[in-house]
Structure 1
Amino acid sequence: MGDALRVGLVGVGRISGAYLSTLPRLPGLALTRIADIDVERARAAARQVPGAVAVMPGELYAADDVDLVLNLTIPKAHAQVALDAIAAGKHVYNEKPLSLGTSQARDLLAAAKHAGVRIGCAPDTVLGTGVQTARAALDAGEIGLPVAAAAFMTTPGHELWHPAPEFYYQPGGGPLLDMGPYYLTALVTLLGPVRRVIGMSAAAHETRFVGSGPRAGERFAVEVPTHVTGVLEHTGGALTTLMMSFDVWHARLPRIEVYGTEGSLSVPDPNGFAGTVRIARARQDAWSDLPERGGYQNAARGYGVADMARAIAGGTAHRAAGELAYHVLDVMESMLASAQAGLAVEITSSCARPAPVPLGVRPDEA
C-alpha cells in the first residue's frame, strides 16, 4: 500500500456500490476497512475488495490502518458519524449533504479544525469533464460576461424506483437537499458563490407510496417540500433561476444553461461526470459541441476522495471541500427559509471557487 491514504468506508447502502467499484483502481488510496450496522452487509462488501476487512463502525474509527473515513450513511447520520471519526483523529469525506443543517455543519467544520483533520464532501461529479469543460469555456470568456443561468431537476419522485424511499421525504431529504447539491456545486464551480436567494416551495401530495420491491403499494407521509424554486444572486452578479422538483412528469427543460453577453453554454447533467458541453455564440443560430477542455477523464464516484488524498499528501487545498459543501448547504437552507418567510435571504457564508481540473491528469497529479 506504500504511502496510500488508507480509507475506511462506513455505510453499505445503495450508493456504496459506485464507490466500491471505483476506489480500488484510484491512485493514492487503499480501502482497508468496511463497516455497517448490519455486519453481514459489511462482510459482503468486503469480499469485493481484496485486503478489506469487515468491522463494526466503532472498530473502524479506532483502527490504526484507517486515515480517512468515507461516510456513506443516510443523511441524518452524516453529522454523528463524521464527529465520531474526527474524535478518533481521522479525516472525513461525507456523502452529500454535509449534514442535515448548517448548525450541525458548523460543528463539524469546527471539530475538524480543532483536531487538525480535513473534511471533504460529495458531490465530486463537478471534477469530471462535463462541468470542467464548461468552466474552461467560461474562464476563457467564450460567452462573454455571465449574466444569468437556469438549472432544472425534475422527476415525479424517487419512490418509483427506490424500494425504501421514505428518507427522501423526511427532513434532510426532498428534491433540494437530495439533488440540489449536484446543481448548486456545479453553479458555484462555474459562477462563484451565492450572496442572496429568494425561494418558494410546495408539496403536491401529503403521502406517497412505494412503487417497487417487496413493500410496493405501502404508503408513507411526506414531511418536506417536494417542489422548490427560486433565484440565486451570485457574488459576480449573475442570476440563476433554480427549480428542483419531485412533482413533475415529462419536463423538457435544460439541466444547466449559462447565458452570457456573447453567447450561451449548455452544461450536461451535474449528477454525472461527463457529457457534451454545447455553445451557441452571439449572432449565430446553431449550437455546436465543445471538445473536452478540463476535468478528470472517465471519472466516477470516489475521485473526490482521491483528489483529497493528493491534497493531504501535498499540503494543498482539496476541491470537494467541506467549506464548499457548507456554502451549498447554507444556500439550500436559506432557500427553504425564504420560501417559508416570503422574503429574500442574505447568505452569510462564502467559499473559495475550487481550482480547475486540467484535462488529462490523474487525481494524484492535479
Structure 2
Amino acid sequence: MGDPHGVGIVGLGFISRAYLETLVGHPAVRIVAVADLDPTRAVAAAAAIAGAEAVSVQGLLHHPEVTTVLNLTIPAAHAEISGAAIEAGRNVYGEKPLTATFPQGRSIVDRAASAGVRVGCAPDTVLGTGTQTARAAIEGGLIGRPMAASAVMVTPGHERWHPEPDFYYAPGGGPLLDMGPYYISALVHLLGPVRAVIGAASRLRDVRIIGSGPRQGQQIPVEVPTHVTGVLEHADGALTTLTTSFDGVATMAAPIEVHGEDGTLAVPDPNHFEGTVRRRALGDPEWRPLEPQAGYVAAARGIGLIDLVRADDTRPPRAGGELALHVLDIMTALLRSAEEGRRIELTTTTERPAPVPLTPAEEWRSARQLRESAPPDRPPRAPARDRSHDPSAVR
C-alpha cells in the first residue's frame, strides 16, 4: 500500500490527540491533510504537524496525496464520512462503532469491496499484549476447552465528566455501542465469531445532567437504553454473558473472564492495550500471572491503522471492516432482541483476525517516539495507557 502512506484525518476532537501521538513521525504513514467542522481547530492541528494542510472535508477526500481517511467524527457521522471516502476511492479507518446502524455498516463494507478499497475500524486495543496474551493462552491449551465467558462494564455515565455528552445518549450511543466494541472485539479474538444473541435492556432515567464545563447543570434527553445485558452464542458453542451499563456505580468483576475445562483466565480491560492476564488452573488455590506472550508491546491508539497499512493479500487487517461489521451486528441484534423479546440469529460472521506475535516496541514504533519516550540511558518506557474513556478525556 506504499510507505510512507498518505493519511488524512477528519475530526480533530480529543481522541485525535492519541492517534497523532502514534502516527506523527511514524515511518509507515504521513499525515498530509486534516479537516474539522471547526476550521480553527483544523488550522491549529495542521500547524503542529510538519507537512500537513488544513483543508475542508471535501478537499481532504479528494486530496491527491491522501490514500486513507482516518474518520474520527462522532458515531452519527461515521457512515456519511466513510461512505464519501469510499466514493472518492480512499481506504478508510474509523473510530468505533463502524456506523450507528447495521444497514449503514453493511453498506460501507459492501461499497468498499466493490470499490477495491479497504475498511478498518477501532478498537485496536485488542492488538496489545493484554488481549493477545489471553488469546495465546487459550490457543495454547492452558485452560483446556473454553466453554463460557463473562464480560462486564459498569459506569455511572459519561455526563459526569464529559462537557458535551449528548451523543452518548442519542441513537448510535449508549453503553453497548460506545463500550461494547472493546469487549466484543476481544471476545471474538478469544472465542471466535457469534452465531446468535439473546438480549435485555433498560433505561434508568429519561434525562441526564451535565456535570462539567460551560453547560454544567443542563439536562439532556436519553433516547437509548442505558443498561444492556445478554448472552452471546459463539459459533463453537461457548456462551458469553455480557453486561454494559451507564446506570451502575462500579463493579469488582473482572472485565473479561474465560472459563475452560481445566482453568479460568482473568483478562485485563480491553479498553487498555496492556494489563496482566491471570490464570487459575483446576486444583490450584491461587491465581497466577502470565508473562506477555503475544501482542504489540507498548501499543497505542493508531496501531490498528498501522497494521492496516502493512497488511497484504496474505494477511488482512486485524482491525478490519468484516470484524467491525460482525461486532456491530452483535450489538444491534442484542438491542433488537431486547426490544422484541426473542433470540436473534446473526446475518454475519467473520474470520478470527490473525494473532499478533509478541512484537517489541522498536519493531513498530518510530525511532523518534522511542527516543522521546525513554529517559537518557534507560530503556524506552511504555506510553500512557489509552484514556479515551477516562474522566479527563474529551472526545
- The bucket for the TM-score relative to the shorter chain is over 0.9
Offset, 1:21:
1.1
How do residues 62-77 of structure 1 correspond to structure 2 at under 5 angstroms?
62-77=62-77
1:114 equivalent to 2:148? Answer: no
Indicate the larger mover: 18-27 or 112-121: 18-27
CA distance in 2, matches of 1:265, 1:16: 33
**Would you say the 8 A contact 1:263–1:281 is kept in 2?**
yes
Query: What SS does the corresponding residue of 1:241 show, helix, strand or coil?
Result: strand
Deviations 1:40-82 (A, max 9, x none): 0011111222111111110000101100000000001000101
Offset, 1:220:
0.8
Letter paired with 2:257: E
CA distance in 2, matches of 1:227, 1:187: 19
CA distance in 2, matches of 1:25, 1:293: 28
Query: What SS does the corresponding residue of 2:215 show, helix, strand or coil?
Result: coil
Q: Could you say what the CA RMSD is over the residues aligned between the two structures, in angstroms? A: 1.2
How do residues 104-183 of structure 1 correspond to structure 2 at under 5 angstroms?
104-183=104-183
Query: What SS does the corresponding residue of 1:258 show, helix, strand or coil?
Result: strand
CA distance in 1, matches of 2:160, 2:232: 30
How do residues 165-314 of structure 1 correspond to structure 2 at under 5 angstroms?
165-312=165-312
Letter paired with 1:191: L
Task: Name stretches of at least 5 consecutive residues in structure 2 with no aligned partner.
Answer: 366-395
Matched with 2:328 is 329
CA distance in 1, matches of 2:177, 2:12: 21
1:39 equivalent to 2:32? Answer: no
CA distance in 1, matches of 2:97, 2:161: 21
1:357 equivalent to 2:356? Answer: yes
CA distance in 2, matches of 1:245, 1:116: 38
Could you tell me the percent identity over the aligned residues? 55
Offset, 1:256:
0.4
**Would you say the 8 A contact 1:264–1:281 is kept in 2?**
yes
Letter paired with 2:268: P
Matched with 1:52 is 52
TM-score normalised by the chain length of structure 1: 0.97
CA distance in 2, matches of 1:283, 1:163: 49
**Would you say the 8 A contact 1:69–1:91 is kept in 2?**
yes
**Would you say the 8 A contact 1:188–1:194 is kept in 2?**
yes
CA distance in 1, matches of 2:355, 2:84: 32
Letter paired with 1:182: Y
Letter paired with 1:330: D
Letter paired with 1:29: V
Count of paired positions: 362
CA distance in 1, matches of 2:45, 2:151: 36
Offset, 1:315:
5.8
Deviations 1:165-191 (A, max 9, x none): 010000000000000000000000100
**Would you say the 8 A contact 2:32–2:52 is kept in 1?**
yes
**Would you say the 8 A contact 1:27–1:306 is kept in 2?**
no
Query: What SS does the corresponding residue of 2:297 show, helix, strand or coil?
Result: coil
Task: Name stretches of at least 5 consecutive residues in structure 1 with no aligned partner.
Answer: none
TM-score normalised by the chain length of structure 2: 0.90
Offset, 1:232:
0.6
Deviations 1:223-249 (A, max 9, x none): 000000011110111110100000001
Deviations 1:273-307 (A, max 9, x none): 00111110110010011000000011111000000
Matched with 1:348 is 347
Query: What SS does the corresponding residue of 1:15 show, helix, strand or coil?
Result: helix
Matched with 2:84 is 84
**Would you say the 8 A contact 2:32–2:65 is kept in 1?**
yes
CA distance in 1, matches of 2:27, 2:356: 16
**Would you say the 8 A contact 2:315–2:354 is kept in 1?**
no
Indicate the larger mover: 59-68 or 2-11: 2-11
Offset, 1:26:
3.3
CA distance in 1, matches of 2:279, 2:251: 22
CA distance in 2, matches of 1:307, 1:179: 22
CA distance in 1, matches of 2:186, 2:21: 24
Offset, 1:360:
2.0
Offset, 1:31:
1.0
Matched with 1:7 is 7
Deviations 1:309-355 (A, max 9, x none): 0015x663110000000000000000001101111111120000000
**Would you say the 8 A contact 1:307–1:363 is kept in 2?**
no
1:338 equivalent to 2:337? Answer: yes
CA distance in 2, matches of 1:153, 1:354: 24
Deviations 1:126-147 (A, max 9, x none): 1000000000000001000001
Query: What SS does the corresponding residue of 2:311 show, helix, strand or coil?
Result: helix
**Would you say the 8 A contact 2:208–2:221 is kept in 1?**
yes
**Would you say the 8 A contact 1:310–1:363 is kept in 2?**
no
